[in-house]
Structure formats: structure tokens, C-alpha cells
Amino acid sequence: MTTSFQRNSKILLRDKSALLLIDIQDKILSVMNKPDQVINNTMKLIKGFKVLNIPIFYTEQYPKGLGTTSEALLSELHGLSPIQKMNFSCFGAGNFFNRLEDNKVSQVVIAGIEAHVCVQQTVLDLVANNFQVNVAADAISSRKDLDYKVALDRMGTHGAEITTSEAILFELLVNSGTEEFKEISNIIK
């Protein structure tokens, strides 16, 4: 008797995924809860996605007033251009959602700030437009812990997968024993 098994449809796949960093700008980051955790885990995601050759996008909210993306991340984002926006949700960032579709992206991994404003609104809009969203809970933040916790709960309730940066990277790796596994193991240490 032959039984066919399948993997869960929520598991991230390299050829369907992209990383979206939302508004990790120094002027905002400086007032966030656990800013070092956000930077450290976001850096792990960026480096891991580069090893796996998965697209990375990043946004800046009103850069004229809030400045550019954190200097701590910019060296790893070399060669990429920020998507500048005025709307809280990335839905309002020009043709960004079309860019995801054009790149055959259906699974979006999210890191950024603030959890209860730009991150939450983007996640809800992505879900409403049939994207699978994976929120790296250890790579997002808000000024207040309650806002962060309520945002995680709300995003999860409305269809987002709430997970961690390390879980995301191992999910995308699929297996051990490869050069990519060795590189990513070194990144997460």
C-alpha cells in the first residue's frame, strides 16, 4: 500500500518567498523596545536570505523627516534601493504588491517597526491580497510592549504565521549537510 504524504502548505519555499523589511530607520528605532534584538535578528534574516538567493525589499517611512534605514543594516542591503512611502501600509507604496506578484512571490517574511502600525497594516493588507505572511516576532518591535503583543495576536488571528527568524531560515533551508546550511548555522550563532 502506497501512501503519499505532503508538506504543510504554510512551510516557506525559496522560489515563492521574499523578505520585506519595514521602516527600520534609526530615528524610529531609537525609541523602540529592544532595538538591538530587532537589528540582530533582521541582520540574520538579511544574511540568510542572501545566502539562499531570495529577494529582499525594504521600505522607508517619510525619509525626509525620519531619515534613512539604520546604518547597521545598510551595508548588507548594498545594491538594493529603498521603497519610500508615506502611507503606513506598504500597500500604499506605489506598485510594491505588483512587484511581488511579478517576481512570483506568494510568501512574504516580515521584519520591521512599528509592530502595531506599519507592520500590522502591511501584514493585514498582504493577507487580504492572498499572500502568505510570516512575521518574524523577534525582528519586529513597538515602543510599548502591549502594542507589540496585541499586534502579534491580531496579525495571527487574521491569518499571518507568527514565527522567529531562526525558524524561518531553517524552514527555507529544508535540510542540513549543505554549504548553505553551514553558512546559515554560522549566521545564527
How would residue 75 be classed by pLDDT, with cut points 50, 70 and 90?
very high
What is the pLDDT, as a whole number, of residue 1? 57
How would residue 94 be classed by pLDDT, with cut points 50, 70 and 90?
confident
Asked whether the CA dihedral 66, 71, 73, 78 is positive or negative, the reply is: positive
The helix (run of H) or strand (run of E) holding residue 133 is strand 132-141
In this predicted model, what pLDDT tens digit does every residue of 137-186 receive, in sequence order?
A: 999 999 999 999 999 999 999 999 999 999 999 999 989 999 999 999 99
CA distance 140 to 111: 5
CA distance 102 to 122: 18
Q: Report the Cα–Cα distance between both ends of the chain, in Å, rounded.
A: 44
- Is residue 4 pLDDT above 90, yes or no? no
| Mean predicted lDDT score pLDDT of the chain | 95
Of all residues in the chain, what percent carry a pLDDT higher than 70?
Answer: 99
Domains and CATH numbers, the chain: 14-188 (3.40.50.850)
Asked if 139 and 38 count as a contact pair (C-beta separation under 8 A), the reply is yes
* Prediction pTM value: 0.95
170, HSE (Cβ side, Cα atoms, 13 Å): 9
114, HSE (Cβ side, Cα atoms, 13 Å): 18
Closest CA to 134 of 1, 8, 3, 6: 8
Give the residue with greater pLDDT, 119 vs 1: 119
CA distance 9 to 72: 34
Quick one: how far is CA 90 from the chain centroid? 12
Cell numbers that stand for 13 in this block: 519555499
